[in-house]
Amino acid sequence: MSSPAPLRAVPASEAARVRVDLAAAYRLIHRLGLDDSIYTHISVRLPGPEHRFLINPYGLRFEEVTASNLVTVDLDGRVVDDPCGLGINPAGFTIHSAVHAAREDALCVLHTHTVAGVAVSCQEEGLLPLNQWSMQFTDRIAHHDYEGIALDLDERERLVADLGDRFVMILRNHGLLTCGRSVAEAFKLMHNMERSCRAQLALQAAGAPVIRPSAAVARKTAGQYAAHYDRIEASGTDTEWDAFKRMLAHSDPGYAA
């Protein structure tokens, strides 16, 4: 078996690395079919003392996002740097700015409107701990009721109160939200949430009796996943994220430009 292709050279600055990681997340969300035309967003805080963030230019599809065309905004959504001159989606940044302002550990915030995620968000019980993917979220999902398109800034207070210290939220009748201590963590949480939702809908459609793991097993599994994520963030080495970026380097290398 041949060795995996080497990763491209690591960017010289931390800010450049964050840009490349965010662009990779946009391309991966598109590749996995989790985007919604030009809507939904991924944002990340730039290193440094200023509260500045990167987000996609409004109007570009996710497969058009690159490291160099990301828009820099401040915590109030004011544009600091806009290479394409397209600005940002105010409704999109309302949600993101709320989380970033309240949570220093939420360096990256990722929001999706997928068919599976929206469908589960409309179910009264939300995501059920029925399999290994979904059990990792046992007692770790926050919920926020739908209040309309996120244009009202006063919703931010209620949203962050509902989120608390959790990294995953179901926006009822709306979609999914994850945040992470890195772009990689937010992306992987969303990837697993999406697969959990798809599996749940497939099980429900099948109509066969379902084996429900015990609450103790579900909590144990969640703890195992959490410990794994903690080890990755502490070490700074993420082999799964590296593998995702190698995939992009082969099929979609323009993301890092």
pLDDT bin (cut points 50, 70, 90) of residue 255 is: very high
Instruction: Find the angle CA(21)-CA(155)-CA(72) to the nearest 5 degrees.
Output: 30
Q: What is d(CA 150, CA 189) in angstroms, rounded to the nearest whole number? A: 23
Please tell me the pTM assigned to this model. 0.92
Q: What is d(CA 253, CA 257) in angstroms, rounded to the nearest whole number? A: 8
pLDDT tens digits, one per residue of 87-123: 999 877 888 999 999 999 999 999 999 999 999 999 9
Q: What is d(CA 53, CA 98) in angstroms, rounded to the nearest whole number? A: 12
The torsion angles phi and psi of 52, rounded to 5 degrees, stand at -120, 150
Q: What is d(CA 140, CA 46) in angstroms, rounded to the nearest whole number? A: 26
12 pLDDT above the threshold of 70 = no
pLDDT tens digits, one per residue of 151-197: 677 888 999 999 999 999 999 999 999 999 999 999 999 999 999 99
7 pLDDT above the threshold of 70 = no
Among residues 54, 29, 21, 16, the alpha carbon closest in space to that of 176 is found at 29
pLDDT tens digits, one per residue of 219-229: 999 999 999 99
Q: What distance, in Å, lies between the first and last C-alpha atoms of the chain?
A: 30
Residue predicted with more confidence, 7 or 15: 15
Q: What is d(CA 72, CA 78) in angstroms, rounded to the nearest whole number? A: 9
pLDDT tens digits, one per residue of 228-251: 999 999 999 999 999 999 999 998
4 pLDDT above the threshold of 80 = no
Domains of the chain: 14-239 (3.40.225.10)
pLDDT tens digits, one per residue of 38-88: 999 999 999 988 899 999 999 999 999 999 999 999 998 899 999 999 999
Task: Name the percent of the chain lying above pLDDT 90.
Answer: 84
Q: What is d(CA 118, CA 108) in angstroms, rounded to the nearest whole number? A: 21
Average pLDDT in the chain:
92
Q: Which two tokens stand for residue 204?
A: 């429900």
Q: What is d(CA 22, CA 93) in angstroms, rounded to the nearest whole number? A: 15
pLDDT bin (cut points 50, 70, 90) of residue 124 is: very high
Q: What is d(CA 113, CA 187) in angstroms, rounded to the nearest whole number? A: 14
Q: What is d(CA 213, CA 174) in angstroms, rounded to the nearest whole number? A: 28
pLDDT bin (cut points 50, 70, 90) of residue 33 is: very high
AA letter at 236: G
Q: Which two tokens stand for residue 194?
A: 């999406």
Alpha-carbon distances of 171 from 20, 118, 151, 163, rounded to whole Å: 28, 8, 15, 10
Looking at residue 253, what is its pLDDT?
A: 87
Q: Is the Cβ–Cβ distance between 51 and 37 less than 8 Å? A: no
Q: Once rounded to an integer, what is the mean pLDDT over residues 186-209?
A: 97
